[in-house]
Chains A and B, each alone.
Chain A
Amino acid sequence: MSGKRALYLAGIAVVCAWVLVPLWFIAANALGGQAVISAWPKPFIPDAFSLVTLGEFLAIEGVFRAMLIGIEVAVLCTIFSVLLGLPAGYALARYTFRGANAFRLMVLLTRAFPVGILALPLTVGFIRLGLYDTPLGIALMHTALALPFAVLVSASLFQAIPRELEEAAWVFGCSPFQAAIRVVMPLALPGVSAVAIFAFVISWNEVFAASVLSARNRTLTAYLLAMLSESPLTYQFAGGLLLIVPSVLFIFLVRKHLFAMWGIASR
């Protein structure tokens, strides 16, 4: 191996370490047991791993519940985004119709806004509708964040499925609906699941709207933010780890679609 190549690979390794080592540190902090918390200097590899801190954190009143609410909100947001986004994406991909460009522009426009902030005026209306401080209310707001993404990505997914396949299905006896179920959906499924996972992560991570729209029924992210100032560092790190795990897992699941999706969604 030439020196240049070695230097290049070393560079790659350094960047990998830059990403991975901080993740390791928060895990070591959260899983290192009682000893790590007050240790000085901190051991880079804890002497023993234990789930004690994590267990204590989960035992705090409200934490486990916040986690469940966070999951509930994210699942609702995923369902809404897919149910609303797929048909719209299909329409953009398959039909030319007056207003198609206006609709696309409207969807793109939402990106120029910090959508989470728009939760501010919603509190009043949500209180009136009984949506304030409910998982459904937060999920609706999160859908406004995830939906534009779902529309654009599913449009590109459907565009990548040749129209001829659908036409062949029609010629060979399918109604349009049957063709959508038997031919289009199986082919779009991997991409659709990636869209769903992204909607989940967007919701799971969102903190501003979730904080503004809830008081007692907080998602894990909003709960953590609210208790930052009054909880010890260890619990903050345990909470941080809980936030990270599902996200990292999900990114692993969608890694194959990441580039196709962003290549198209950001055009």
Chain B
Amino acid sequence: MRGRNLPYLLIAPAVIFLAVLFFIPLVQTIALAFETRSGPGLGNFVRMADDLNFHDAVVNTFRFVGLAVPLQLAAALGMAMMLRHLGKGRDLVLWIWTIPLGLSDLAAGLIWLAILNDKGYLASLLFHLGIVSEPQSWLTYESPFALFVAVVIAEFWRATAIVIVILVAGLQLVPKEYAEAASVFGASPWRIFTRITLPLMKPSIQSALILRTVLAFEAFAVVIAIGGRNFPVLVSEAYNWQNFNQEPSVAAAYAVVVMGLSLAATALWLRLLRTPAEQRG
């Protein structure tokens, strides 16, 4: 019967497309990573781990994700709550706050490079304030900590927007009556936030964290824009092995590590922030 097949007909193009351009490359990446001249093995991973930059890349990636993502969540929560009390102009403020959402991490990196380079706007501001007297070169290999802070700031500036959008969208689904009921029963604003609003927002917090963690593991253009090759992360190493060293199989090994981390993070958030079925309203 034609009617019964119609939905399959409608999803078929998307399914075939994702099979060819998602699942096949996924399998290929894994295959490539485990493929060595002497047959399947961990050779590529050994070469990856033996590389000078590997240790730094792992540490940097974890520090970067571990700091940027929680910062984004906390700031976005605060901003979402701030919006609740804004009447007129809410739409305008919301639009301004979500502008960085449309920017690539490369663009964000370049924007912060304009601010943080040796003759940039931050140094100029400090000069005007009389704190420094000449251009400041922060973003060099000699000051990895400053590099790290700059990269986190750029990513925080850019990607908090998407978290705000997800949280505000989630907040719209939470009826105001719950908070009102709690305040009638004498709860303070802080207790309403921690005991009522936050638990009810758990599903959107969860999806924001999944999305952001996966994308933060993937960020690399921001790192290259600000730090060049002085602040290696896992994906920038994959990029370098592919483009400069012409070693796709080591790049694939990096990719497998990044995928593993992404999946693990997703599983972690799914487990930590699950809403039991009986609590879903």
Contact = CB atoms under 8 A, between A and B. Distances in A.
B15 interface: yes
Contacts of B262: 112-114
B155 to A, nearest CB: 13
Given A121-B28, A266-B211, A16 B96 contact: yes
A211 B123 CA distance: 33
B228 A29 contact: no
B99 A23 contact: yes
Nearest to A254: B102
Contacts of B25: 118-122
A229 B228 contact: yes
A147 B17 contact: yes
Contact of A251 (B101, B117, B166, B259): B101
Contacts of A141: 21
Interface in A189-224: 201, 204-208, 211-212, 221, 224
Contacts, number: 274
Contacts of B255: 114, 117-118, 120
A123 interface: yes
Given A25-B114, A211-B239, A114 B104 contact: no
Contact of A266 (B32, B207, B259): B207
A22 B111 contact: yes
Interface in B31-53: 31-32
B193 interface: no
A132 interface: no
Contact of B218 (A107, A201, A208, A240): A208
Q: Is the interface of B mostly helix, strand, loop or mixed?
A: helix
Interface residues of A, number: 94
Given A23-B111, A120-B255, A211-B243, A258 B98 contact: yes
B29 A117 contact: yes
A125 to B, nearest CB: 8
Contact of A15 (B82, B203, B218, B224): B82
Interface stretch (A40-48, A52-60, A61-69, A160-168): A40-48
Contacts of A121: 25, 28-29, 31-32, 248, 252
Contacts of B242: 120, 212
Contact of B165 (A120, A151, A262): A262
Contact of A91 (B4, B7, B104, B243): B7
Given A12-B82, A25-B114, A208 B102 contact: no
B10 A90 contact: yes
A172 interface: no
Given A91-B7, A112-B210, A121-B252, A151 B120 contact: no
B117 A248 contact: no
5 contacts: A11-B82, A16-B96, A118-B26, A207-B105, A221-B221
Counting from the closest, the 7 A-B pairs by CB-CB distance are A263-B169, A240-B110, A205-B104, A247-B102, A121-B28, A41-B124, A91-B10
